[in-house]
Structure formats: structure tokens, C-alpha cells
């Protein structure tokens, strides 16, 4: 049976509004002691939006670490103080759309060995135009695509964002049923 490690101490090395850098001291079941360095966030939300034509909303934006624009689902961090739920605020800021229907369909941990974070995945449909204010660092192009086009973009590595790939794995059966039953209308 796998036994848990014992946390001996934990301290924050650095913190900003988006994440904190942690250093924990631990002890293995066999008594060996060590250090574990990781980042911790407040969590994130990723939204798969489906419009009235059954198109799925992707966004194209510049991501600093990739040095290129990426194609991904709208996503962002959880914020403690917000008028709207995080998923509605984030989707609105990145697509200028609101949705009549929301479904939480699952979650994943993006990089569990390095970052303590949970990303909740939502599907949004029956979309309408709305006026949201985007973050000043976000310059976004909304890219609606069919399921077939999305899958093609994955195969050709036009979509390489790991969080988008994980979210699509969770969302695909739900979205396919939504489109098959035409519930997005």
C-alpha cells in the first residue's frame, strides 16, 4: 500500500496576486527527509462555449512563455472578489459573450507535480453578445470552429495548450450530445 509523505513544515517564499511559491519540508515513510518546491494558485476555470450554429469558441492570444499566439478555450484564474461567478466573468472578458446555460462537467489538475491547482471545466451555451472589459494584457481574437475543425487543429498541433487538450477530453462527450440533440439552439 502506498503511504503518504508527512509534511513537516510549509512556508511561502514569494507571493503575488495570481500564485504563491511554496517550500515544504517532508518526511518519507522510511524516515528520509526532503524539500518540495511548488507553485500554488487559487484555481482556474476553463469554458467551452457553443454558439447557435453549434460552433465551439476558441480564442487566439499571445502567451508570453510560448512566444507565439496560442489557440485555446477561454480560461482564467479564480478571483476572490467578483460580481459574477468566475466562469461567467472569464468567458465574458475573453469572448464578449454571456450564456443562458452553464454546466460544470468536471475538473483536472494541470501540472500536479509542479503546481497545486484545480481547473474546473464548464460548457456554456445559448450565447448572446455582452459588453465586458478585458484585462489590459489580453489581446484576443475569438475563433469559432466546428468539432471537426477543432479536432483537425489538435491533430496538426495548432492547438497545443495542455489545459485546452485536457478540457476537451472532458467536454467532448457533453458537447457532442448537446450538438446532436440541438440543445444549443
In this prediction, residues 158-178 reach a mean pLDDT of 97
Q: Tell me, what's the pLDDT at 99?
A: 96
Average pLDDT, the chain: 93
Banded model confidence at residue 81, pLDDT cuts 50, 70, 90 = low
**C-alpha distances in angstroms, 130 versus 94, 133, 152?**
11, 10, 30
Pairing assessment for the beta strands 56-63 and 68-72 based on DSSP bridges: antiparallel
Among 3.40.50.150, 3.20.20.30, 3.40.50.300, 3.90.79.10, name the CATH number for the domain at 43-180: 3.90.79.10
Q: Examine the pLDDT at 152 and tell me if it is beyond 80.
A: yes
Domain boundaries along the sequence of the chain? 6-40, 43-180
Contact between residue 115 and residue 40 where contact means Cβ atoms under 8 Å apart:
yes
pTM, to two decimals = 0.92
Amino acid at each position: 500500500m502506498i503511504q503518504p509523505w508527512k509534511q513537516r513544515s510549509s512556508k511561502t517564499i514569494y507571493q503575488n496576486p495570481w500564485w504563491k511559491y511554496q517550500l515544504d519540508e517532508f518526511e518519507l515513510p522510511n524516515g528520509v527527509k526532503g524539500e518540495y518546491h511548488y507553485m500554488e494558485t487559487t484555481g482556474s476555470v476553463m469554458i467551452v462555449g457553443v454558439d447557435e450554429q453549434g460552433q465551439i469558441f476558441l480564442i487566439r492570444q499571445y502567451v508570453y512563455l510560448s512566444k507565439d499566439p496560442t489557440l485555446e478555450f477561454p480560461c482564467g484564474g479564480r478571483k476572490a472578489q467578483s460580481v459574477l461567478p468566475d466562469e461567467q466573468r472569464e468567458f465574458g472578458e475573453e469572448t464578449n459573450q454571456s450564456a443562458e446555460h452553464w454546466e460544470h462537467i468536471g475538473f483536472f489538475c494541470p501540472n500536479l507535480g509542479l503546481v497545486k491547482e484545480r481547473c474546473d471545466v464548464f460548457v456554456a451555451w445559448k450565447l448572446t453578445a455582452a459588453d465586458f472589459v478585458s484585462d489590459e494584457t489580453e489581446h484576443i481574437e475569438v475563433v469559432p470552429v466546428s468539432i471537426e475543425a477543432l479536432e483537425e487543429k489538435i491533430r496538426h498541433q495548432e492547438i497545443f495548450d495542455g489545459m485546452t487538450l485536457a478540457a476537451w477530453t472532458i467536454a467532448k462527450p457533453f458537447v457532442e450530445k448537446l450538438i446532436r440533440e440541438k440543445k444549443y439552439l
